[in-house]
A and B are shown apart, each in its own frame.
Chain A
Amino acid sequence: MNLLAPWIVKLGQLTVLFYEALLALREIHKTPRLVLQEIEKIGVNSLPVVILTSLFIGMVSAVQTAYQVKDFVPLEYLGVGIAKAVLIELGPVITALVVAGRSGAGIAAEIGSMRVTEQIDALTVMGINPVRYLVLPRLIAGVVSLPLLTVFAEASAIMAAAVVSKVVLFVPMSLYFTGIQMFFAPVDLWGGLAKSVVFGGIIALMGSFHGYYAEGGATGVGRATTEAVVSSSVLILAADYILGTLIYG
């Protein structure tokens, strides 16, 4: 029982924070600039590292898929296998994990240091709702940025895989892409993007939550950062399983 108590408290705090962020949506018109700023930080600035990782994911996928299916399946179906894996799983999940490490940590550090240096108290005594000012813009930015980043990630991975298929495995690009087109199911794309919306919410919420309740100076901020990354990574994978079952199961 005593072991559970802190977790129940945390879950309560998390629920309250999320609920307050939703309530604060009514006042979002007061801070449009903050939302754009956060989209820049979480979305635009993550683009290079997301594309870079996706290129490698695409290349690895091509080699691995070819290795596993080459004796059973004609290689014109190579593109299909890769594309489906990228759209449904790899694109959304890898993007989310990369952004969790980058922006989730950043959110926790920013909000956490504002907590321990009384900046959140300062907002409160000015009559400014800190959840509206700090959490909501990041939440919106996360939910908006992740699907966009995922689209870039998926395009990069599929292109990188196409290049590897041609250069290393000698599958002509036209064959690779006709295969993809032939078997393309819209739900592969939309399902993956729907998941990434949820992942974006998880990253922003876990970063905000751990920062918002940080205590104990710089050490506390460091701890909040770590916890934000660990908890959002675990939740992303758990949510991936649940959403995958709901959408494709």
Chain B
Amino acid sequence: MIRFEGVWKSFEGRPVLKGISFTITPGEMVAILGKSGTGKTVTIKHILGLLRPDRGRVFVEDVDVTRASRRTLNALRRRFGYVFQGAALFDSLTVYENLALPLKERGWPREKRDEAIRWALEMVGLGGTEDLYPAEMSGGMRKRAGIARAIVARPDYLIYDEPTSGLDPVTADRINDLMLYLKEQLDVTGVMVTHDLVSALKVADRLILLEEGEIAVDIPVDRAFEESHPAFRAFLKAAGLLERQT
């Protein structure tokens, strides 16, 4: 369970989040939508204490992330996978080493590591790229390697920051299927930030629309087409999904 309680955050006096509250229940996948620059990335960076709120609290299960000790926080972090918007692969390490790092940190033995790495790369369609450096890969490949690194340790929670942006539609759909699989078969709880409404509708259970630092819409995915909030409808319309319904 992940819970935000009235989270405020500003940068240099400019408010970005204005009292965000929501809860993600176990096994649920929530998609956060919103225009570029509305604070989606800022929101999810609060979950693992990468950013600290000016006001409000963030809970993961019963841990108050905003006050937890570093030891508690690190134990918690190891149960998460985090896909960064720009992949954030370590430039000085190969794909294999990038994936091995979190496993080594957890003390996994070599054989178990190799098997997990093979599995994760296979899942994102990057089998055979173990020895490449990030600079030798395309943007979409890096993104997928970032996803592989996030899932390699079989986390209980996943945070995806635009997992399908920059991917071709076929690969994007493969990633959607992967996210579904992780949610349904491995029971992962998660949150995805995305502009890709098709992906959100396919994978998420709930949609949250962020606007001007506030939650404008928070609805189950099957009510998406009944929602009347203009900003949300604008999203549907821009994705070309509105005509089909009405």
Contact = CB atoms under 8 A, between A and B. Distances in A.
Bound together: yes
Contact of A118 (B75, B84, B101, B102): B84
A115 B69 CA distance: 23
A122 interface: yes
Nearest to B81: A125
B154 interface: no
A127 interface: yes
Nearest to A120: B88
Given A117-B88, A121-B88, A122-B90, A128 B82 contact: no
**How big is the B interface, by class?**
10 to 19
Nearest to A124: B50
Chain A interface, >50% SS class:
helix
A178 interface: no
Contacts of A1: none
Interface string A103-129: 000000000011001110110111110
B37 interface: no
Contacts of B50: 121, 124-125
Contacts of A125: 48, 50, 77, 80, 82
Interface in A97-154: 113-114, 117-119, 121-122, 124-128
Contacts of B78: 126-127
A119 B91 contact: yes
B118 to A, nearest CB: 20
Nearest to A113: B91
Nearest to B49: A124
Contacts of B85: 118
B45 A127 contact: no
Contact of A128 (B80, B84, B86, B105): B105
Most chain B CB atoms below 10 A, which of A113, A119, A122: A122
B12 to A, nearest CB: 11
A119 B50 CA distance: 12
B23 interface: no
Interface string B140-184: 000000000000000000000000000000000000000000000
Given A118-B84, A118-B85, A124 B77 contact: yes
B74 A127 contact: yes
A122 B77 contact: no
B88 to A, nearest CB: 4
B101 A126 contact: yes
Given A126-B101, A127-B105, A121 B84 contact: yes
B175 to A, nearest CB: 19
Contacts of A113: 91
A126 B153 CA distance: 10
B105 A122 contact: no
A121 B84 CA distance: 9
B82 A122 contact: yes
Contact of A126 (B45, B75, B77, B91): B77
A119 B105 contact: no
Interface of B: 45, 48, 50, 74-75, 77-78, 80, 82, 84-86, 88-91, 101-102, 105
16 contacts: A114-B90, A117-B86, A117-B91, A118-B86, A121-B50, A121-B88, A122-B82, A125-B82, A126-B77, A126-B78, A126-B102, A127-B74, A127-B75, A127-B105, A128-B101, A128-B102
Given A114-B90, A117-B86, A117-B91, 5 more contacts: A118-B84, A118-B86, A125-B77, A125-B82, A127-B77
Which 6 pairs of residues, A with B, have the shortest CB-CB distance?
Answer: A118-B88, A127-B74, A122-B88, A125-B82, A126-B102, A127-B77
